């Protein structure tokens, strides 16, 4: 490891009591224990309209997008917990990816400056029996398409309403360790690449 890897952790949910936001915090703790510097953010703090090219041509980037893109550019990798909406990722997460994929002034049109050369670990939790696994397949494909190295390990945690206690703690020790390990794996992999 040449320097401490910088990771950004967030979920694809805008919900205040998001279970995926709880999940990503566990992975973030695992990555921090493995030596990464982890910053956790909430997409709700970066409000942005639905990407509409006409709107973009008139107004340019919202401040929130520039701020988020700046944070993503400064990171080496991402820990992303993605709720499954109708078998896919959330519209909010896809919309965010679309916004930050657009080139800023001075960047080549296909620079994908906040994605290319970065790593990611993806995870999900949902009340269903597959734990949001179907959405992860789509998210993996999208991230790889914009140049992110998504590590093979991933986690989908079923029974989301039962696995966290009232304090938001993931109660099953074996499950918790797997989620911590996912964060540690991303930290270690990223550390070898930077």
For ligand FNR, the binding residues (CB under 6 A) are 11, 13, 15, 18-20, 83-87, 126-128, 132, 160
Nearest to 76 by CA among 189, 159, 185, 181: 189
CB nearer to ligand FNR: give 112 or 123.
Answer: 123
Cα–Cα distance, 89 to 85 (Å, whole number): 6
In the complex, least distance from residue 85 CB atom to ligand FNR, rounded to whole angstroms: 4
Nearest approach, Cβ of 133 to ligand FNR (angstroms)?
Answer: 9
Choose between 70 and 168: whose C-beta lies nearer to ligand FNR.
168
For residues 112 and 182, which CB has a smaller minimum distance to ligand FNR in the complex? Answer: 182
Q: Least distance to ligand FNR from the beta carbon of 191, Å?
A: 28
Q: 40 with 11: CB under 8 angstroms?
A: no
Contact call for residues 123 and 154 (beta carbons, < 8 A) = yes
Query: To the nearest whole angstrom, how small is the minimum distance from the Cβ of residue 80 to ligand FNR?
Result: 12
Burial of 105 (0-12, 13-18, 19+ CB in 10 A): exposed
């Amino acid at each position: 490891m040449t320097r401490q890897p910088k990771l950004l952790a967030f979920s694809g949910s805008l919900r205040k009591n998001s279970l995926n936001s709880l999940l990503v915090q566990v992975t973030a703790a695992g990555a921090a224990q493995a030596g990464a510097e982890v910053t956790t953010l909430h997409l709700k703090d970066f409000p942005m309209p639905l990407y509409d090219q006409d709107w973009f041509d008139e107004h340019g980037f919202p401040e929130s997008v520039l701020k988020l893109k700046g944070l993503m550019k400064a990171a080496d990798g991402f820990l992303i917990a993605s709720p499954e909406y109708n078998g896919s990722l959330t519209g909010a997460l896809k919309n965010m990816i679309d916004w930050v994929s657009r080139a800023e002034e001075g960047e080549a049109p296909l620079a994908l400056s906040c994605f290319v050369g970065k790593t990611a670990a993806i995870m999900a939790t949902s009340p269903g029996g597959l734990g949001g696994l179907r959405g992860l397949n789509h998210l993996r494909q999208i991230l790889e398409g914009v140049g992110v190295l998504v590590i093979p390990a991933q986690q989908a945690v079923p029974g989301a309403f039962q696995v966290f206690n009232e304090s938001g703690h993931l109660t099953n020790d074996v499950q918790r360790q797997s989620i911590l390990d996912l964060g540690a794996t991303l930290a270690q992999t990223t550390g070898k690449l930077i």
